[in-house]
A and B are shown apart, each in its own frame.
Chain A
Amino acid sequence: MMSNLTRDLIQLKALVLKEYREAFRDKRALMVALMMAILAPIGIMMISKIMIEKLVDEPPVYVKFSGAEYAPQLIKHFADNNLLAFVDVPADEKSTWQQRSITLNIPANYAADMAAGKPIQLHLQADFTDKAVQPPVRRINNALRAFSLSIGYKRLLLRGVDIRLLNPLELVEQDTAKPDATFMLISMMLGLYLMLAAFMSGLSVAIDSSAGERERNVLEMLLCQPVSTLKIVLAKLISASTISVIGVLLILLLTSVSVGFVDLTKIGATFSLDLSTAAILLLLLLPICFFASACQLFVAFQTKSFKEAQSTVGMLIGIPAFIPFVISMMDDRPQWLNWLPIAGQSMIIEKIFKGVELDWLAVFTTSSVTIVITVALILALAKKLKSEKVVMALS
């Protein structure tokens, strides 16, 4: 006679194997998980690139100067700031700058007025409502102001004035953030994204193996088999969360590779995902993956149809995106937030990226709470599957 344990193991193995087979053969579900993973580094790279461009890079701006010949030094100063004459625009950008048509008029009496110490008005013409025109205009403004100031300083200096008098007050900003915490945005994004991935990657599989199976009339057959509902739920949980974990792993891997291609130091930021950080992140997100799958199964099993499951569980995704966002906005964070699933983890992830030393107690507490809630959800779901309500919903 077979012992109960071997029987349990055989059953569980068969259940998990079957869930895995179905999950890994479900191209659409896998695509969702993979897309998340591939989009992450691409998104992070794109956003960082845009940020860097906005913050640091000064792409060439082509200005239609009229009267450039009257102010050669000014034109040279503009050129040093990558503000170039429209005549030099490369062919492929010509139409763009033709359309933006930023024009600076330098009056013919520039030199004479300069020598006479008279204020000179330069006229800048552009469509100021055009968003693309605003950064170039700002840069022209700054360059002109700097040039004007330097002349003004020299004029006073050469009249025997101590030019330091012109700066009575100076505000020196001292950022008390940890030196390596300046890249917050990227890490916040990644933290959020990882959380989202933990929720999203296993989503399709969770819905498919619950509401989907019911819709395909295979659930009743399964419930009639000599297997406890707990095992059934466990198998589905394991399968869905495995996909989640794979999604998270892929994101960590691809991100650590791809961030190397972006020079974040340009914005005074650094980002590296070393092995130990990645390991800690994974450790933190592992319970979240299970928690997420448990939530999704719990909800999906109770819906009336596959479609309903999709839309209801879809709303669940909002939670991991919403909670960290709200937390990052909160100034006074109540203590209990530290223990909640998602909230706790997102705060710890934030700290990891800030370079603050890891609070292992917090990791332990929030992981434990998450696991306890997950177990409770699973037990409740196993019990629910035995109920008549679920059976009646089958046909």
Chain B
Amino acid sequence: MIEVNNLHKSFIDKKNKKNTVKALDGLSFTANDGEITGILGPNGAGKTTCLRTLYGLLCADEGFATIDGISVTEKPLAARAKLGIFPDKFGLYERLTAYEQIDYFASLHGMSGQVKKQAIEQVIQDLDLGELAHRKTVGFSQGQRMKITLAQALVHQPQNFVLDEPTRGLDVMSTRILRNHLAKFKAKGHCILFSSHVMQEVAALCDRVIIVANGKLAAQGTPQELCELAGESNLEEAFVKLIGSDEGVAA
């Protein structure tokens, strides 16, 4: 379970105080186990800042975030151990083979020996990576890269899984694989937090949607509830309405 409570974060320009950006302004939400929670928000709404705070890379000015009840600011390493991360810009170690890369992340999570080996085999099988496993990752297609990244994020079977715009740049087939996998994961009772711009995807996949604007929670609920709340029939229209206005988007 991921809980975000009253997060505040400002980026201060030391030279020019006027340029200070308020990225998070009291954001709170909860992503429950056994659910896929989607974060929607326009560019600059504070999604990335929020996720980075969750990873423990940034430190909130106010408020807190916990992963399975562990504070990410107080025990970042312990909190991260419970987390699988699929970053927005994922790169691969191009001089390593897919297997080595997955092995690397497994080891970073403290896995070793037979346990590690089995976990890697499992994730390779799950993602159908058998053919790619022992090739160096240089020259992999975007879909293949996505799968490797997914494998390295999931090899340690994290309870919580955060994806930052995972389907960007993926073709239909890859997107489907990802979706299937997330669904399986959800079925096992994991907590999935998912940021995206693609409305259909969010609508189709997410149990709950959190709409963020100007660093604040604009609205939350199931896609259905949000449509009803906005009085619109599709999520996109509801989203535009809920974040306020076109100006709101610009801000």
Instruction: List the interface of chain A (C-beta within 8 A of B).
Output: 2, 6-7, 10-11, 13-15, 17-18, 21-22, 25-26, 213, 216-218, 220-228, 388, 391-392, 395
Contact check, A224 vs B87: say whether CB atoms are below 8 A apart: yes
Interface residues in B, total, Cβ within 8 A: 35
Residues of A contacting B59 with CB < 8 Å?
388
**Cβ-defined contact, B95 with A22, below 8 A:** yes
Interface contact A18-B111, CB-CB below 8 Å: no
CA distance A216 to B109 in the complex (A): 22
A221 x B87 contact (CB < 8 A): yes
A221: B residues at CB distance < 8 A: 85, 87, 90-91, 152
Query: A225's contact among B78, B94, B96, B109, by CB below 8 Å, is which?
Result: B109
Chain B, residue nearest A4 (CB): B110
Which B residues are CB-close (under 8 A) to A388?
57-59
Give Cα A10 to B56, complex, Å. Answer: 22
> B95 to chain A: which residues have CB within 8 Å?
21-22, 25-26
- Nearest-CB residue, chain B, relative to A221: B87
Find A18's partner among B85, B89, B93 (CB 8 Å cutoff): B93
Distance of A21 Cα from B95 Cα, bound (Å) = 8
Q: Interface 1/0s, chain B 88-111, versus A by CB < 8 A?
A: 011111111000100111011111
Q: List 10 A-B contacts (CB under 8 A).
A: A11-B107, A13-B107, A17-B104, A22-B96, A216-B92, A217-B90, A225-B80, A227-B77, A227-B108, A388-B57
CB distance from A52 to the nearest CB of B (A): 45
* Most chain A beta-carbon contacts within 10 A, residue among B76, B81, B91, B94: B91
Rounded to whole Å, the gap between the CB of B161 and the closest CB of chain A is: 13
Is A21 a contact of B100 with CB atoms below 8 Å? Answer: yes
Q: In the docked arrangement, what's the CA distance between A7 and B115, Å?
A: 14
Q: Decide yes or no: A218 and B104 within 8 Å by CB, A224-B85, A226-B80, A395-B48 being known contacts.
A: no
Instruction: Judge if B52 is at the interface, Cβ distance under 8 Å.
Output: yes
How distant is A242 from chain B, measured CB to nearest CB, in Å? Answer: 16
**Would you call A217 and B91 a contact (CB within 8 A)?**
yes
Partner of B96, one of A11, A18, A213: A18
> Residues of A contacting B152 with CB < 8 Å?
221
Contacts A225-B80, A227-B77, A388-B58 known; A11 to B48 CB distance under 8 Å? no
CA distance A250 to B91 in the complex (A): 34
- Is B107 a contact partner of A392 (Cβ separation < 8 A)? no
B54 CB, min distance to chain A CBs, angstroms: 9
CB of B125 closer than 8 Å to a CB of A:
no
Nearest residue (CB) in A for B96 is A21
Contact between A15 and B93, CB atoms less than 8 A apart:
no
Closest to B149 in A: A221
Does B200 sit within 8 A of A, measured CB to CB? no
A224 to B77, CA, bound (A): 9
A335 to B184, CA, bound (A): 70
Could you tell me the distance in whole angstroms from the C-beta of B84 to the nearest C-beta in chain A? 10
Q: A217 vs B90: C-alpha distance in the bound complex, in angstroms?
A: 6
Whether B55 lies near A224 (C-beta < 8 A) is yes
B57 and A226 within 8 A (CB): no
Q: What separation, in Å, do the CA atoms of A7 and B78 have in the docked complex?
A: 12
Pairwise interchain contact B57-A216, C-beta atoms closer than 8 A: no
Tell me if B122 is interfacial: C-beta within 8 Å of chain A.
Answer: no
Specify which of A26, A216, A226 is in contact with B108 (CB 8 Å cutoff). A226
Q: Which of B52, B77, B80, B93 contacts A218 (CB 8 A)?
A: B93
- Given contacts A22-B93, A224-B57, A225-B105, whether A217 and B52 have CB atoms under 8 Å apart is no
Which residue of chain A has the shortest Cβ distance to B80 in the bound complex? A226
Task: List the B residue with the shortest CB-CB distance to A231.
Answer: B108
Bound complex: CA A395 to CA B91 (Å) = 12
- Nearest Cβ on chain A to B168's Cβ, whole angstroms: 13
Complex alpha-carbon distance, A391 and B95, angstroms: 24
Question: A216-B94, A218-B92, A391-B57 in contact; A10/B87 too (CB < 8 A)?
Answer: no
A26–B95 CA distance with the chains assembled, in angstroms: 7
A13 to B111, CA, bound (A): 12
